[in-house]
Amino acid sequence: MRSRTVLLRFAALLVGAVVVLTGCGARPGGAATPSSAPGPVRAGAGVGVGKPAHAASDSGSLPRIAVLATGGTIAGKANANSAVGYTAGQATAEDLIKAVPGIDKVATLSAEQIANIGSQDMNDQVWVKLANRINELFAEGKVDGVVVTHGTDTIEETAFFLDNVVSSDRPVVLVGSMRPATALSADGPANLRSAVQVAAAPSARGRGTMVVLNDTLHSADDVTKTNTTSVQTFKSPNTGPLGYVDAAAVNFVQPVPQRRHSHFPVPSAPLPRVDIVYSHSNMTADPVKEALSHGAKGLVLAGVGDGNTAKPVLDALSKAAKSGVVVVRSSRVGSGETVRNAEVDDDRLGTSAAHFLNPAKSRVLVQLLQANGITDPAKVQEEFTTRY
Ligand code: ASP
């Protein structure tokens, strides 16, 4: 992803320069097409920069966007008896929409309540319900995009799950907030407006599932929460953001990917159990044994450095891998690649390297692989490598 990112950024700059210098939009395949006044670049046309941020739907009227609510701080309300306390998942989908003045000028919205929980309680059942509903809405052709309101704590996991089981080229945009709906300067309404703008933008097509907060747009693969309380908490540490949103425009700074990974059918819940083993100094193999004793079918190492850990842990992981458990090495570091066969010999241990996926997302992918019977280490590695 690192070299790919550099190339993509270079390509994005080049396309941007062509657009600025010639007023033409480039199509994949290289053919330049005239474009009139600034406007959103069509899906597949590379970097989308321009106004307006929204456009007519396939039916010729305002884009139709479904808002599916799951809870989180964006739906949170203050506790009457505490200065800082609040409870996530209180306001409904309709309440959230009503709090955004003028949102009806951006899109025609429908609202559904899928759940109303803090995302620390997010689970396979809600994921599966959400994914099935999104696929159904797209299959029926009733919506041009979907916005999912969600708590920020695990938003990156849900985004990654959806990105792997929703195959439409129409956008799915996850949004949350860091301050509850009742807070001074609540960030939810502006974030929700941004999410609807993105879901309604033709330039958002073909980009899979995205996350938007604080005017910044991220891919499901790379987005991660980096700060416990700041509104500027989400970052894409390896690729940089996909783009930015303001009141007037959705500006993509990265091109539409030419080829995306394959999608899995939506599994049924519960998904196979996969545990994360967090590595640290003075580490023993106990957490590995503990996870296996509870029936884990997969283990993800949140390793030190380049996905490393103490020898007894590596030995236990290797033993598990050779007994059919899917074992993937990721890193607790927060950015950078976990490299196959670098300091740790994956070939010998029977483990796979997560490349740029963090431990939380690696765990989701291993669940999906297990659910689809993909357990052979070479095939597991291939699935991680295609997301590289
Ligand atoms: N605990 C909350 C949640 O993830 C935090 C938030 O939404 O910002 O639901």
Cα-based distances in Å from 253 to 7, 13, 49, 196 = 13, 8, 8, 19
pLDDT in tens, 269-282: 999 999 999 999 99
pLDDT below 70 — which residues of the chain?
Answer: 1-60, 83
* CATH no. of 274-385: 3.40.50.40
120 contacts: CB under 8 Å, gap ≥ 6: 151, 153, 154
The pLDDT of residue 261: 82
CB 216 within 8 A of CB 165: no
Long-range contact set of residues 4-8: C-beta below 8 Å, sequence gap at least 24: 4/388, 5/238, 5/239, 5/240, 8/239, 8/254, 8/255
The pLDDT of residue 33: 26
For residue 29 the two structure tokens come to 């395949």
The pLDDT of residue 4: 44
Nearest to 102 by CA among 183, 190, 182, 198: 190
Task: Verify whether ligand 1 is closer than 6 Å to residue 178 (CB atom).
Answer: yes
Task: Verify whether ligand 1 is closer than 6 Å to residue 188 (CB atom).
Answer: no
Name the H helices within 245-358.
286-293, 311-322, 346-349
**DSSP 8-state secondary structure symbol assigned to residue 305:** T
For residue 275 the two structure tokens come to 């545990």
CB 212 within 8 A of CB 245: yes
Same CATH fold assignment for domains 51-252 and 274-385: yes
Domain boundaries, the chain: 51-252, 274-385
Q: How far is the CA of 52 from the centre of ligand 1 (A)?
A: 31
For residue 379 the two structure tokens come to 């095939």
The pLDDT of residue 59: 52
Testing ligand 1's pocket by substitution, the residue of 70, 73, 226 carrying the most ligand atoms inside 8 A of its CB is: 73
Structural element, H or E, at residue 108: strand 108-117
Alpha-carbon gap, residue 386 to 364, rounded angstroms: 15
Task: Domain 51-252: give its CATH architecture.
Answer: 3-Layer(aba) Sandwich (3.40)
The pLDDT of residue 294: 98
The pLDDT of residue 47: 43
**DSSP 8-state secondary structure symbol assigned to residue 338:** B
